[in-house]
């Protein structure tokens, strides 16, 4: 085994040597990387002095990107395991509404409301997964049903209980709650005060908060996004379970023949997707202070688009969490950047469509090189 690193004597003369640079580039995330560089170059050229790269500007698109990242990580792992979840958007609205009903209407302590919501939503995720593996139906159809079921409840429940579709007062109910702070709070406030004092970031120059930095900390939303990305990436690439995720999505039958508990893997991934959607929902209701029946609309597609820009294969078995996170970053930067660049916001969709198509074509070619599909 000592000579494993040295070139073997009987190299196949038909295999061309691949340069180190090319090998470093040929990876599933390449499409996302190229897209990220392209997007930042574009905005640095056309919107540099618009405030997009000031501390408030960065925080603006970073928060939006982090929202996409949170749901993209769940959607990414689930897609690699070979399934879809179209109920993510409805789950976000549903989770927010359940927190509001438990925490405000029923007056539970906020930490209890949050934990109960996580438990309920992950149970629904498990039900999604259980139906998919039991019936063998495409997850597309099963989760489409839940898209309607959960959205229906999200509209029906607050109307029945409070005769309105938005429940407010969450910020007051969450005041001083330890778990709510883990979703709605900010960290590193001291650092930002220091940066403001040093004149590195802008500070308020009048009013009651004069002298304080405009951006006064990193929202927990961004912390959650980074934690989930690191967790998802390590789980996928560095653990036994990650190998099972790839195997379950690559070929469920072959994986079963090799002793991989495919059904368990898939159900757990549905639960993880529900977990991510709930994290998104809790951060959102803590930020807005209210839960609305229309929250999270179309989020499932945005998550799937971010994952596909990031190099994952729609049919499963291939993809990268880092790529999905870059896809989410592209999404967030483009959406907010066009606003800064003062471009008509409907062009956001045009831009996004172009990036989606470009990244997917590039990713398809890379994947063919890596996997020898051609």
Question: Which region, judged by CB under 8 A, interacts with other proteins, from 8-16, 213-221, 266-274, 336-344?
Answer: 8-16
**Residues 64 and 335 sit within 8 Å (Cβ to Cβ):** yes
Q: How far is the CB of 253 from other proteins (least distance, A)?
A: 5
Distance CA 307, CA 301 (A): 10
Of 14, 163, 206, 240, the residue at the interface with other proteins (CB under 8 A) is 240
Tokens representing 200?
Answer: 């590195």
Residue 201 vs 236, nearer CB to other proteins: 236
Interface mask (CB under 8 A) for other proteins, residues 126-165, using x and -?
----------------------------------------
Question: Is there binding between residue 323 and other proteins (CB under 8 A)?
Answer: no
Closest to other proteins by CB, 107 or 372: 372
Nearer to other proteins, 57 or 82 (CB): 82
Question: What is the spatial distance between Cα 35 and Cα 38, in angstroms, rounded to a whole number?
Answer: 5
Q: Kindly state whether residue 322 participates in binding other proteins, applying the rule CB under 8 A.
A: no
Binding mask 14-43 for other proteins (x = CB under 8 A): -x----------------------------
What is the Cα–Cα distance from 363 to 133, expressed in whole angstroms?
29
CB of 191 vs other proteins, minimal distance in Å: 28
Question: Mapping DSSP to helix (H, G, I), strand (E, B) and coil, where does residue 186 land?
Answer: strand
Q: Of 86, 313, 329, 355, which one interacts with other proteins (CB under 8 A)?
A: 313
CB 295 within 8 A of CB 170: no
C-beta closer to other proteins: residue 152 or 261: 261
Q: Which residues pair with 362 in a beta bridge?
A: none
Which of residues 102 and 313 has its CB atom nearest to other proteins in the complex? 313
3-state secondary structure of 167: strand
Total interface residues for other proteins by CB under 8 A: 30
Residue 305: its H or E element: helix 299-309
Smallest CA-to-CA distance from 323 within 305, 349, 299 is with 305
Q: Answer yes or no whether residue 360 interacts with other proteins by CB under 8 A.
A: no
Q: Find, among 9, 56, 92, 112, the residue nearest to 280 by Cα.
A: 92
Strand ranges in the chain using DSSP code E only, listed in sequence order = 166-167, 186-187, 218-219, 291-292
Shortest separation between residue 211's beta carbon and other proteins, angstroms: 44
Pairing mode, if any, of strands 218-219 and 166-167? unpaired
Integer CA distances (angstroms), 192 to 203, 206, 218, in order: 10, 18, 9
The stretch near other proteins (CB under 8 A) out of 1-9, 218-226, 265-273, 353-361 is 1-9
Asked if 344 is part of the footprint of other proteins (rule: CB under 8 A), the reply reads: no
The least distance separating other proteins from the CB of residue 259, rounded to whole angstroms, comes to 4
Q: Please report how close the Cβ of residue 9 comes to other proteins at its closest, in angstroms.
A: 8
Q: Closest approach of Cβ 298 to other proteins, in Å?
A: 29
Residues 243-302 binding other proteins (CB under 8 A) are: 243, 246-247, 250-251, 253-255, 257-260
Least Cα distance to 303 among 42, 27, 76 occurs for 76
Nearer to other proteins, 61 or 244 (CB): 244
> What is the C-alpha separation between 146 and 299, in angstroms, rounded?
14
DSSP string, 9-32: TT--TTSPPPPHHHHHH-STTHHH
| Nearer of residues 21 and 45 to other proteins, judged by Cβ | 21
By CB under 8 A, tell whether 239 contacts other proteins: yes
Distance in angstroms (rounded) separating the CA atoms of residues 335 and 180: 28
In the complex, the smallest distance separating the C-beta of residue 74 from other proteins, rounded to whole angstroms, is 21
Asked if 242 touches other proteins (CB under 8 A), the answer is yes
279 close to 222: Cβ distance less than 8 angstroms:
no
Q: Can residue 4 be called a binding residue for other proteins (CB under 8 A)?
A: yes
> Which residues form the interface with other proteins (CB under 8 A)?
1, 4, 8, 10-12, 15, 238-240, 242-243, 246-247, 250-251, 253-255, 257-260, 313, 317-318, 370-373
């Amino acid at each position: 085994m000592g000579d494993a690193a040295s070139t073997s004597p009987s190299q196949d003369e038909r295999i061309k040597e691949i340069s180190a640079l090319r090998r470093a580039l040929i990876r599933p995330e390449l499409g996302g990387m190229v897209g990220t560089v392209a997007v930042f170059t574009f905005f640095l050229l056309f919107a540099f002095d618009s405030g997009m790269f000031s501390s408030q500007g960065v925080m603006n698109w970073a928060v939006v990107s982090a929202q996409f990242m949170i749901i993209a990580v769940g959607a990414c792992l689930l897609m690699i395991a070979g399934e879809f979840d179209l109920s993510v958007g409805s789950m976000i609205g549903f989770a927010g509404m359940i927190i509001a009903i438990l925490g405000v209407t029923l007056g539970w302590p906020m930490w209890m409301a949050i934990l109960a919501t996580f438990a309920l939503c992950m149970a629904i995720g498990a039900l999604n997964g259980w139906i998919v593996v039991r019936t063998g139906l495409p997850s597309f159809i099963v989760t489409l049903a839940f898209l309607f079921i959960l959205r229906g409840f999200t509209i029906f429940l607050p109307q029945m209980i409070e005769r309105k579709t938005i429940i407010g007062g969450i910020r007051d109910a969450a005041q001083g709650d330890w778990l709510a702070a883990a979703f709605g709070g900010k960290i590193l406030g001291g650092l930002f005060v220091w940066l403001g004092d040093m004149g590195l970031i802008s500070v308020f120059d009048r009013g009651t908060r004069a002298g304080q930095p405009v951006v006064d900390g990193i929202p927990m939303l961004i912390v959650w996004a980074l934690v989930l990305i690191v967790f998802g990436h390590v789980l996928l690439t560095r653990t036994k379970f990650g190998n099972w995720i790839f195997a379950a999505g690559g070929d469920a039958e072959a994986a079963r023949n090799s002793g991989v508990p495919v059904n368990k893997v898939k159900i757990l991934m549905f639960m993880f997707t529900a977990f991510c959607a709930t994290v998104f929902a809790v951060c959102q209701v803590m930020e807005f202070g209210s839960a609305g029946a229309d929250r999270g609309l179309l989020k499932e597609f945005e998550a799937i688009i971010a994952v596909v820009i990031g190099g994952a294969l729609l049919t499963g078995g291939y993809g990268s969490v880092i790529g999905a996170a870059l896809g989410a970053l592209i999404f967030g930067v483009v959406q907010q950047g066009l606003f800064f660049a003062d471009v008509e916001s409907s062009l956001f969709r045009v831009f996004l469509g172009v990036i989606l198509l470009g990244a997917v074509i590039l990713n398809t070619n890379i994947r063919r090189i890596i996997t020898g599909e051609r």
